[in-house]
Amino acid sequence: MPIETVSVDWVSSQQFLLKDQHDFPIVMTQPMGVNGADLLPLSLIGCAAWDVMTILKKQRQAVTGLKVTAESERDGEPPWRFRSIHIRYRLSGRGLDAQRVRHAIELAETKYCSIYATLRDAVRLTSECEIVDEQDDTG
């Protein structure tokens, strides 16, 4: 099993520099950086979106746009535990097959996305999908 290492360095006051396993930097501070708690749903939808697009590309679906959002519900008291995350996928393209899109999302969420697999037993995860058909203007 491979070991992956990420890091965080305290810069000053309430500012931290996070680095992924490839040393890509992320500034964590407020108001001019990412909020630490936002990283959890961001990781979830980033992982899922990556897998959905990989699957749809292999299916040769003509995707022209993808926007994924996550709404989180957390406890109001420390440690502000995540209770639920609802994911909304909005895909646009020409002649997208709705069944293939839904199947790609299902595969991402149940088989491929490591973040989803890690969270599904600890947080209530739900999702929905909207498909926007873009008309071909060539004719």
pLDDT (tens digit, 9 = 90+) per residue, 31-84?
A: 888 999 999 999 999 999 999 999 999 999 999 999 999 999 999 999 999 999
Q: Strands across the sheet with 7-12, in order?
A: 7-12, 15-19, 25-28
Q: Confirm if 36 and 44 have CB atoms less than 8 A apart.
A: no
More confident residue, 124 or 137: 124
- For 1, 77, 115, 125, the CA distances from 120, given in Å and listed in that order, are 22, 22, 8, 6
* Residue of 42, 66, 85 whose CA lies nearest to 131: 66
Check: pTM over 0.85? Answer yes or no.
yes
The overall longest dimension of the chain from CA atoms, in Å, is 59
Whether the CB-CB separation of 125 and 116 falls below 8 Å is answered with: yes
In the chain, which segments carry CATH 3.30.300.20?
36-133
Alpha carbon distance 129, 66 (integer Å)? 11
User: Quick one: pLDDT band at residue 92, thresholds 50, 70, 90?
Assistant: very high
Helix (H) or strand (E) holding 88: strand 82-93
CATH code of 36-133, in short, is: 3.30.300.20
Q: Residues near 41 by Cβ (< 8 Å), separated by ≥ 6?
A: 70, 72, 82, 85
